[in-house]
Structure 1
Amino acid sequence: MIIYYEQVHDEGFIINEAFSFTEGDDKFDIKSFSGRIDKAGDAYVVTGKLNLHFSCPCDRCLEPVNMDIVEDLILTLSPLGEYPPMEADGEDGLSDEEAGMYVTPKDHFDIHELLREEALLLVPEKRLCRQDCKGICQGCGASLNTEKCTCTKHKDERWAALDKLK
């Protein structure tokens, strides 16, 4: 949904959005985003609550993982069409304020794209069906969470010399 900055008046602009998208095998369902846009000097501030349902395969065993995430968002939009000059404050050269800033075209922004980027940042890097997930056997593919591996264990002779180091 494209929002033009001229639509944002002194009383702000109310946003209520819901949509879904996929990223590879990951499915994102933004159940709701309720918020507002306010002008703040030369920038605009989007504030609101994001309600996200996320599903993907487990990183270890490929079983489905489902997560619900609720997050309060505060996004700063710079309608300059380019990044403003920065003052080096931290190791990466960005101040705290600049780190959360989105640079947009001069006259509009896409709220779906901003929420999509925020949703991608909210999901954990390691996605497990449970903390003690054992994964799958590399030999036979059995899920080690639910069944016993039937593979015969064979030792790689290339590593046999390391056994003598004990």
Structure 2
Amino acid sequence: MIIYYEQVHDEGFIIDEAFSFAEGDDKFDIKFSGRVDKAGDAYVVTGRVNLHFSCPCDRCLEPVNMDIAEDLILTLSPLGEYPPIQADGEEGLSDEEAGMYVTPKDHFDIHELLREEALLLVPEKRLCREDCKGICQGCGASLNTEKCTCTKKTDERWAALDKLK
């Protein structure tokens, strides 16, 4: 959904959006209720995002479903370009600019902003349960529900250590 800055008046602009997207095997359903307000030369998007996320478990590939709710505050800079690069090669970003989204001069895409935020909200390690044992690399058995059928191969050089048990 494209929102033009000229639509944002003194009383703000209300947003109620719901959409879905997929990123590989990951599926996202997003609902957002909030508003856009002008703040000097910038614009601020505030509201609540409700995210339903489904993906395969990182260890055993069983389905994982998560619901995440988060309050968002996004600062938008309608500059149309990124801050200039300083002479020493480092970008000149202040702490205030570091959390800012740079957008075209006349509009922004709320779906794209919420998509980026959703990707940041999802945990890095996605497990079906905390104690997930994964799958056997040899036979492919789910170690959460099945016993591994692989025969254990022992290196003959270490066989003498097994006798110490």
- TM-score over 0.5 (shorter chain): yes
Counterpart position of 2:11: 11
What's the offset of the Cα at 1:17? 0.2
Q: In structure 2, do the counterparts of structure 1 residues 159 and 99 end up closer, same or farther at CA, with 3 Å as the change threshold? A: farther
Moved over 6 A (4+): 86-93, 157-166
The 2-side partners of 1:144 and 1:75 are apart by: 43
Judge conservation of contact 1:30–1:51 (CA < 8 Å) in 2. Answer: yes
Q: In structure 2, do the counterparts of structure 1 residues 125 and 159 end up closer, same or farther at CA, with 3 Å as the change threshold? A: farther
What's the offset of the Cα at 1:84? 3.3
Structure 1 gap ranges (5+):
none
Give deviations 1:116-156, integer Å, cap 9, x for gaps: 00000000000000111000000000000001001101135
The 1-side partners of 2:121 and 2:89 are apart by: 23
Counterpart position of 1:73: 72
With normalisation by structure 2, the TM-score equals: 0.88
With normalisation by structure 1, the TM-score equals: 0.88
Aligned residues: CA RMSD: 3.5
Q: In structure 2, do the counterparts of structure 1 residues 163 and 91 end up closer, same or farther at CA, with 3 Å as the change threshold? A: farther
> What's the secondary structure of 1:76's corresponding residue?
strand
What's the offset of the Cα at 1:82? 1.2
The 2-side partners of 1:65 and 1:147 are apart by: 19
Q: In structure 2, do the counterparts of structure 1 residues 77 and 159 end up closer, same or farther at CA, with 3 Å as the change threshold? A: farther
What's the offset of the Cα at 1:162? 11
What's the offset of the Cα at 1:41? 0.5
The 1-side partners of 2:163 and 2:98 are apart by: 53
> What's the secondary structure of 1:98's corresponding residue?
helix
Aligned length in residues: 165
Identity %: 93
Q: In structure 2, do the counterparts of structure 1 residues 83 and 153 end up closer, same or farther at CA, with 3 Å as the change threshold? A: same
Give deviations 1:61-114, integer Å, cap 9, x for gaps: 000000000000000000001123589999997443222110000000000000
Q: Which is worse superposed, 17-26 or 84-93?
A: 84-93
